[in-house]
């Protein structure tokens, strides 16, 4: 049975639109998933949405819809985006799924029965935006960082998780299995948090239910409580795990949610997996360590200059803007430019420079030159090298050590470093061409063997690049693969079978341009236009009733609609809404009243063509009989917009 590889992203709050941060994490998870498939592992890639809590409740209330309606409307934004980007997600979990709710309730009951969850009174400072109670120190830190968290004091009866009891085991986890949090400096942050006598003191028990919120999973048997959103959210990794995949190998998180994943999450799992007789003050049993995630991989943030991206500053980079350059380009940049763990400033300038340098020039140029030389000098057939001078031998050794070095770094989740290694080799190959001067070698038949070596080595390096970089740029590498005359899908290759010196099975194809050079000025104008469209106020949501029941054609055909021409119009005295009109229907002139005064003045109406329901029974309005009705469009909040037939439609025309 092959090794399982279970990778997760955080589940995203649905009250926000996807941004570069979500895109980065999910793309990185996809790169990991694809990479581990090519290592012949059994991959399970989970992402999803976090749909409960006060923020959702409030946003929904503000819009006059139910929280369920809100989450059903927004969750697909994320799911569709990942599909559009071609991410190989195996399962998209939503915390409002019945299966998830059932697992949360079952685990809650189980821990309550074990004594790890108990009920008590809680009073404390609560950060609405974090959905978490915070200590005084944390509150001060948050304020000092200028993070606009809304802090409120809450007092309520609450269920608590016995977090304090797990402190000893947690410390052992960090000491004995430091790979639990990567990169290392992020582990140090976590340790400081938990360290006994550390600046934050002992771990406090954790409040994990609320009575002040109703949008959540009810506590079984005590339904005025709902499960606190982090106990609910973190359990998605368990509830949506596929059989045979537990525990996760890599769980990607942003630095801001590391605390939840590196402290609360393993503590919940320790409580679930511990057995009677396990000593919480003794050694953390290996048996339990094996049930915990192997690694929580914490990344930093994409910043705008030195500052955080935020809606209020209007400086958020949206996936649409990145995708404008193609999904592979966006993937390459995000993975290549961010060193995992650290923050990184984003600029479109750097983005485009990177793509031009590494993809249009770098790889694109090298592939085009190499393939066209193979065609020009060898009719597309890839030669077998026989002679190696010092320069050739140096390049041969470089190519041979690139793959293991790349795979070693990727194995440590350092894709930024792995790509750097690969591109250093590609640059050395550019130098190889300059020094070996194949165009000169081609002029003299005596140099044929030497030219064979140069061409073959270029081919081998490109074939290796297509395989190694396929998880990062699936489409571009497939194109390169095909240009090299190689059969099938590059994604079906296995790193273990990467035989760099194997002969080529077929001649190379015509070189296909891998990546078109970006005209930076033109691209920036297009990006500005996308940003402007994004900033434009959204059209307010329609307020219309549900669609009426279906009718058959005959029922509809009973309605006689005609084009009318308004001959005269005047306000109806004492009425706020009504205007009285004389309307020419071609065969007769009628008196018709319309409730359109707020939108039209009598002068607006005279000479206007309208659509009249001509066979409506007459009815009196404010003492005047109306012989028909005008058609107008609106929702419950807007003014009426009269339906206007074109100028050349004659009064009396039938509308059908």
Shortest distance, position 36 Cβ to ligand ME8, whole Å = 21
DSSP string spanning 191-213?
Answer: HHHHSTTSTT-SPPPEE-EESS-
Shortest distance, position 316 Cβ to ligand ME8, whole Å = 8
- Cα–Cα distance for residue pair 92/64, rounded to 1 Å: 27
User: The tokens of 326 are what?
Assistant: 């193609």
Shortest distance, position 108 Cβ to ligand ME8, whole Å = 16
Peptide bond into 79 cis (omega under 30): no
User: The tokens of 338 are what?
Assistant: 């961010």
Measured from the CB atom, is 213 or 490 closer to ligand ME8? 213
Measured from the CB atom, is 253 or 504 closer to ligand ME8? 253
Number of residues that bind ligand ME8 (CB under 6 A): 19
How many residues would you count in the chain? Answer: 656
Quick one: which segment of 17-25, 116-124, 406-414, 536-544 binds ligand ME8 (CB under 6 A)? Answer: 17-25
Quick one: which segment of 15-23, 100-108, 384-392, 636-644 binds ligand ME8 (CB under 6 A)? Answer: 15-23
User: The tokens of 39 are what?
Assistant: 């290592």
Measured from the CB atom, is 28 or 632 closer to ligand ME8? 28
Alpha carbon distances (Å) from 8 to 1, 76, 237: 22, 18, 7
CA-CA-CA-CA dihedral for 435, 436, 440, 443, to nearest 10: 180
Shortest distance, position 167 Cβ to ligand ME8, whole Å = 22
Binds ligand ME8 (CB under 6 A): choice among 48, 183, 254, 645: 254
Quick one: which segment of 14-22, 36-44, 375-383, 637-645 binds ligand ME8 (CB under 6 A)? Answer: 14-22
Measured from the CB atom, is 252 or 611 closer to ligand ME8? 252
Measured from the CB atom, is 38 or 309 closer to ligand ME8? 309
Confirm or reject binding of residue 128 to ligand ME8 (CB under 6 A). Answer: no
Shortest distance, position 302 Cβ to ligand ME8, whole Å = 4
Measured from the CB atom, is 25 or 249 closer to ligand ME8? 25
Quick one: which segment of 248-256, 471-479, 526-534, 595-603 binds ligand ME8 (CB under 6 A)? Answer: 248-256
Site for ligand ME8 in 285-344 (CB under 6 A): 301-302, 309
Confirm or reject binding of residue 257 to ligand ME8 (CB under 6 A). Answer: yes
The site map against ligand ME8 for 21-40 (x = CB under 6 A) is xx-xx---------------
Q: 562, exposed or middle or buried, with CB in 10 Å at 0-12, 13-18, 19+?
A: buried
First to last CA, the chain: 67
Beta strands per DSSP E along 236-382 = 250-254, 295-299, 302-304, 307-308, 344-346
Shortest distance, position 129 Cβ to ligand ME8, whole Å = 9
Binds ligand ME8 (CB under 6 A): choice among 187, 213, 241, 253: 253
Quick one: which segment of 8-16, 200-208, 566-574, 592-600 binds ligand ME8 (CB under 6 A)? Answer: 8-16
Measured from the CB atom, is 254 or 511 closer to ligand ME8? 254
Binds ligand ME8 (CB under 6 A): choice among 5, 6, 13, 45: 13
**640 with 596: CB under 8 angstroms?**
yes
Shortest distance, position 309 Cβ to ligand ME8, whole Å = 5
**DSSP bridge pairs for 50:** 13
Shortest distance, position 9 Cβ to ligand ME8, whole Å = 8
Alpha carbon distances (Å) from 79 to 20, 88, 276, 534: 15, 11, 42, 20
Beta strands per DSSP E along 468-613 = 561-571, 579-584, 589-594, 609-613
Measured from the CB atom, is 50 or 584 closer to ligand ME8? 50
Residues 6+ apart with CB under 8 A from 76: none
**244 with 90: CB under 8 angstroms?**
no
**117 with 44: CB under 8 angstroms?**
no
Binds ligand ME8 (CB under 6 A): choice among 7, 11, 194, 642: 11
User: The tokens of 140 are what?
Assistant: 């001060």
**622 with 555: CB under 8 angstroms?**
no
Quick one: which segment of 251-259, 478-486, 518-526, 533-541 binds ligand ME8 (CB under 6 A)? Answer: 251-259
User: The tokens of 351 are what?
Assistant: 């983005």
Quick one: which segment of 70-78, 249-257, 397-405, 561-569 binds ligand ME8 (CB under 6 A)? Answer: 249-257
Site for ligand ME8 in 45-64 (CB under 6 A): 50
Quick one: which segment of 253-261, 425-433, 463-471, 638-646 binds ligand ME8 (CB under 6 A)? Answer: 253-261
What are the b/e assignments for 298-311, b being 16+ CB within 10 Å?
Answer: bbbbbebeeebbee
Measured from the CB atom, is 313 or 400 closer to ligand ME8? 313
Measured from the CB atom, is 296 or 363 closer to ligand ME8? 296
Measured from the CB atom, is 14 or 399 closer to ligand ME8? 14
Shortest distance, position 96 Cβ to ligand ME8, whole Å = 13
- Cα–Cα distance for residue pair 229/50, rounded to 1 Å: 9
- Cα–Cα distance for residue pair 365/358, rounded to 1 Å: 9
- Cα–Cα distance for residue pair 559/88, rounded to 1 Å: 53
- Cα–Cα distance for residue pair 341/28, rounded to 1 Å: 13
What are the b/e assignments for 79-107, b being 16+ CB within 10 Å?
Answer: eebbeebebbbeebbbbbbeebbebbbeb
Shortest distance, position 293 Cβ to ligand ME8, whole Å = 12
- Cα–Cα distance for residue pair 236/253, rounded to 1 Å: 14
The residue with its CB nearest to ligand ME8 is 254
Measured from the CB atom, is 256 or 604 closer to ligand ME8? 256
**318 with 529: CB under 8 angstroms?**
no
User: The tokens of 490 are what?
Assistant: 């590059």
The dihedral through the CA atoms of 366, 367, 370, 372 has a sign that is negative
Quick one: which segment of 5-13, 199-207, 358-366, 367-375 binds ligand ME8 (CB under 6 A)? Answer: 5-13
> Among 206, 136, 134, which residue's Cα sits nearest to residue 165?
206
Quick one: which segment of 7-15, 491-499, 521-529, 546-554 binds ligand ME8 (CB under 6 A)? Answer: 7-15
Peptide bond into 240 cis (omega under 30): no
Binds ligand ME8 (CB under 6 A): choice among 205, 256, 278, 430: 256
Site for ligand ME8 in 477-506 (CB under 6 A): none
Measured from the CB atom, is 56 or 371 closer to ligand ME8? 56
**449 with 387: CB under 8 angstroms?**
yes
The site map against ligand ME8 for 223-242 (x = CB under 6 A) is ----------xx--------
Residues that bind ligand ME8 (CB under 6 A): 10-13, 16, 21-22, 24-25, 50, 233-234, 253-254, 256-257, 301-302, 309
């Amino acid at each position: 049975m092959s090794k399982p590889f279970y990778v997760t992203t955080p589940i995203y709050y649905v009250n926000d639109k996807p941004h570069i941060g979500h895109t980065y994490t999910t793309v990185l998870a996809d790169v990991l998933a694809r990479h581990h498939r090519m290592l012949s592992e059994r991959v399970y890639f989970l992402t999803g949405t976090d749909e409960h809590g006060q923020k959702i409740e409030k946003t929904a209330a503000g819009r006059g819809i139910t929280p369920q309606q809100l989450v059903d409307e927004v969750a697909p934004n994320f799911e569709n985006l990942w599909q559009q980007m071609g991410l190989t997600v195996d399962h998209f979990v939503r915390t409002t799924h019945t299966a998830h709710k059932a697992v949360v309730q079952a685990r809650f009951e189980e821990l309550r029965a074990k004594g790890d969850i108990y009920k008590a009174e809680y009073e404390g400072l609560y950060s609405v935006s974090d959905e978490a109670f915070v200590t005084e120190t944390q509150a001060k830190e948050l304020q000092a960082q200028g993070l606009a968290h809304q802090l409120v004091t809450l007092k309520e009866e609450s269920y608590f998780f016995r977090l304090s009891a797990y402190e000893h085991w947690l410390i052992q986890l960090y000491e004995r299995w430091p790979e639990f949090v990567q990169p290392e400096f992020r582990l140090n942050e976590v340790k400081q948090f938990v360290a006994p006598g550390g600046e934050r003191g002992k771990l406090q028990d954790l409040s994990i239910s609320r009575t002040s919120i109703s949008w959540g999973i009810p506590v079984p048997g005590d339904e005025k409580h709902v499960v606190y959103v982090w106990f609910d959210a973190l359990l998605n990794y368990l509830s949506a795990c596929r059989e045979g995949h537990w525990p996760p190998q890599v769980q990607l998180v942003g630095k801001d949610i590391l605390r939840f994943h590196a402290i609360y999450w393993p503590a919940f799992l320790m409580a679930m997996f511990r057995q009677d007789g396990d000593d919480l003050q003794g050694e953390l049993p290996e048996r339990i360590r094996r049930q915990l995630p192997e690694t929580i991989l914490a990344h930093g943030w994409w910043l705008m200059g030195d500052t955080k991206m935020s809606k209020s500053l209007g400086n958020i980079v949206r996936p649409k803007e990145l995708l404008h350059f193609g999904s592979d380009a966006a993937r390459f940049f995000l993975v290549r430019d961010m060193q995992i763990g650290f923050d990184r400033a984003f600029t479109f300038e750097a983005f485009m420079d990177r793509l031009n340098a590494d993809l249009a020039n770098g790889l694109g140029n090298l592939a085009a030159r190499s393939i066209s030389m193979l065609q020009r000098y060898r009719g597309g057939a890839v030669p077998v090298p026989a002679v190696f001078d010092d320069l050739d031998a140096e390049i041969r050794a470089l190519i041979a050590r690139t793959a293991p070095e790349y795979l070693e770094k990727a194995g440590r989740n350092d894709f930024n470093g792995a790509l750097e290694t690969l591109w250093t080799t590609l640059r050395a190959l550019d130098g190889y061409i300059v020094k070996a001067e194949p165009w000169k070698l081609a002029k003299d038949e005596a140099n044929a063997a030497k030219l064979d070596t140069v061409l073959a080595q270029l081919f081998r390096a490109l074939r290796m690049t297509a395989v190694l970089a396929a998880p990062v740029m699936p489409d571009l590498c497939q194109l390169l693969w095909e240009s090299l005359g190689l059969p099938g899908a590059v994604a079906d290759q296995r790193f273990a079978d990467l035989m760099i010196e194997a002969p080529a099975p077929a001649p190379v194809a015509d070189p296909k341009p891998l990546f078109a050079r970006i005209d930076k000025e033109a691209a920036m104008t297009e990006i500005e236009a996308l940003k402007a469209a994004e900033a434009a106020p959204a059209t307010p949501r329609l307020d219309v009733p549900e669609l009426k029941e279906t009718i058959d054609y005959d029922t509809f055909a009973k309605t006689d609609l005609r084009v009318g021409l308004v001959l005269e119009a005047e306000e109806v005295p004492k009425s706020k809404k009504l205007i009285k009109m004389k309307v020419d229907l071609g065969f007769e002139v009628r008196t018709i009243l319309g409730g359109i005064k707020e939108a039209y003045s009598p002068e607006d109406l005279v000479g206007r063509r309208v659509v009249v329901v001509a066979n409506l029974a007459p009815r009196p309005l404010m003492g005047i009989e109306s012989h028909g009705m005008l058609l107008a469009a609106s929702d419950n909040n807007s003014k009426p917009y009269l339906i206007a037939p074109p100028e050349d439609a004659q009064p009396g025309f039938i509308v059908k």
